[in-house]
Amino acid sequence: MKSDHHLILRVVAKGLLPLITIYAFYVQFHGEVSAGGGFQAGIVLAVAVILYALIFGLAEAMRAVPPGFARGLAAVGVLVYGGVGVWAMVQGGQYLEYQALFNEPPGGHDGQHTGIILVELGVLFAVAGAMVSIFYALAGRVAEIRDEDW
């Protein structure tokens, strides 16, 4: 009979991971009216993947969220962030001038609201992808010194 001494950790993690992910999206979409935003949400989302890797193993986490996907997510985040700024410049405004996104007069709110949401989504993608990529790079590294030699 196989004994799994991590059974309690696995059961608790399976209950916590969806809650952590939901909390990350809560922080993301309420960041403009309360504390939080793309950076904080990206870190919380990356923590969910890191917790999964710590409990279920690095190989299992890399199957769930492949390293290529994490790197691609970081790249897409940077492109979304930069793309909003370029979009504003193409519309005749300055870089990340949100009113210029829809050619609104000063004081308009539609462009501001849309621009902030898009920029924060870009930051979320970039931070979550970068943090997961960094974790994979550090966790998958072969130790140069054996534990006994410390």
Per-residue pLDDT tens for 92-124?
Answer: 889 988 888 888 777 667 778 888 889 999 999
Tokens of 127: 């931070």
**pLDDT for residue 1:** 46
22 pLDDT higher than 90: yes
Whether residue 65 contacts residue 53, with contact meaning beta carbons closer than 8 Å, is answered with no
Q: What burial class does residue 20 get, using C-beta atoms within 10 Å of its C-beta: 0-12 exposed, 13-18 middle, 19+ buried?
A: middle
**pTM assigned to the model:** 0.85
Whether residue 55 contacts residue 13, with contact meaning beta carbons closer than 8 Å, is answered with yes
Average pLDDT over residues 67-72: 97
Planar angle of CA 44, 48, 52, nearest 5 degrees: 160
